[in-house]
Amino acid sequence: MFSCKVVFPLPGGGTSQMESKEFKLNLHYYTENVTFTVSPVGPVKEGDKITLHCEGDGNPSPTYLLQRVKGKAEEELESSSDGVYMFRNISRSDSGTYRCEALDFDSPPEFELFRNLELFVHYLNPVTVIPAEREVKRLLKEDVQLFCSCDGSENPDLLWKKGDDVLSKTSRYRLKELSYSHSGVYTCEANVPSVPGLRKEQSITIVVEGPPELDPENHQVEVESEGHPVTLSCKAKGNPVPKITWNQPDLKVSESFTDPGSTK
């Protein structure tokens, strides 16, 4: 904001002053420099929300033309007049050369009013797991070899995990002499440390089958006195789920349960 102030002497000494109202001076000048940037800053991966921003230093701000360069051809992007173009869900096919140009016809011809930008989108292909079945059934004491592979714009790090427990930091994991505790979901995870958030995974379910196994427990139960209530427990593992039956020697079956947990 600008204003004009006048200070003048008064007869007999002293001074006085007058000041104009403030006014705004809008200076017009042509564009000399153009910048072309991508945000956010950092590696770009598939699925990101990315913005291209073209900006010139002229006043008033010029209009802009944004294009994708394909060889000798140029494909105009539907950008807004302020030079902004947004990828809401960018994919690997969007990798390439982009150009922005400031359309300021007052600028002298010696100024280059365009800039090029190389955009590369990192990606990972789906993870392949062997065995290929989503559910694999094996017998007790057998071995299972798990293998996975994945490729993309960068070679990913591979690891196997079960739940939150990391089992192997390689593409292979071997389950030896299967027990029922080996049943569960195993996941191969691929990630690229140099591109934060670029990861894929694939899971496989291992089902261990076999005859029932009784959990070892103390088979002697002390009763305080005749007529006193007593609780007996029995636990078994197996697949299919074992049926637990209680019976007394030389007597008929007293109770029968199919719950593989504690029973009376």
| pLDDT tens column, 24-42 | 777 788 899 999 999 999 9
Shared domain for 38 and 115, answered yes or no, is yes
**Domain for residue 7, yes or no?**
no
Residue 45, both tokens: 């991966």
- Give me the pLDDT at residue 231, please: 75
Residue 184 resides in a domain:
yes
Q: Are residues 172 and 213 in contact, defined by beta-carbon separation less than 8 angstroms?
A: no
Specify the number of domains making up the chain: 3
**Domain co-membership, 235 together with 260:** yes
Contact 250, 226 (CB under 8 A): no
pLDDT beyond 50 at 233: yes
Residue 255, pLDDT > 80, answer no
12-16, 48-52, 124-128: segment of lowest average pLDDT? 12-16
Mean pLDDT confidence for 183-191: 97
199 & 145 share domain: yes
Query: Residue 191 and residue 154: Cα distance in Å, rounded?
Result: 9
The rounded mean pLDDT for the chain is: 87
CB 115 within 8 A of CB 56: no
CA–CA separation, 23 and 30 (whole Å): 23
pLDDT for the residue numbered 236: 79
- 97 pLDDT tier (thresholds 50, 70, 90): very high
**211, 234, 249 - which closes a domain:** 211
Beta strand pairing call for 157-162 and 165-168: antiparallel
**Mean pLDDT across the stretch 129-133?**
96
What are 79-92's pLDDT values in tens digits?
767 899 999 999 99
Say what the pTM is. Answer: 0.74
The yes-or-no verdict on residue 218 having pLDDT over 60 is: no
- Which residue among 88, 122, 156 closes a domain? 122
22 domain-assigned:
no
| CA gap 29, 12 in Å, rounded | 49
Residues 6+ apart with CB under 8 A from 76: 65, 66, 67
Residues 142 and 193 in one domain: yes
Report DSSP state, residue 180: G
Predicted local distance difference test score (pLDDT) of residue 178: 95
Point out the domain boundary residue: 122, 137, 160: 122
Q: Do 61 and 45 reside in the same domain of the chain?
A: yes
Q: Report if residue 4 sits inside a domain.
A: no
Domain range for residue 242?
215-264
The β-bridge relationship of strands 121-122 and 44-45 is parallel
Question: Is 23 a domain residue?
Answer: no
Of 237 and 46, more confident:
46
> Side chain identity at 184, as an amino acid letter?
G
Asked if the model's pLDDT at residue 193 lies above 60, the reply is: yes
Q: What is the DSSP letter of 156?
A: P
Residue at 243 is within a domain: yes
Pair 83, 54: CB distance under 8 Å:
yes
Residue 179 located in a structural domain: yes
158 contact partners, CB below 8 Å, separation of at least 6: 148, 149, 150, 169, 170, 171, 188, 189, 190
* CATH code of the domain in which 196 resides: 2.60.40.10
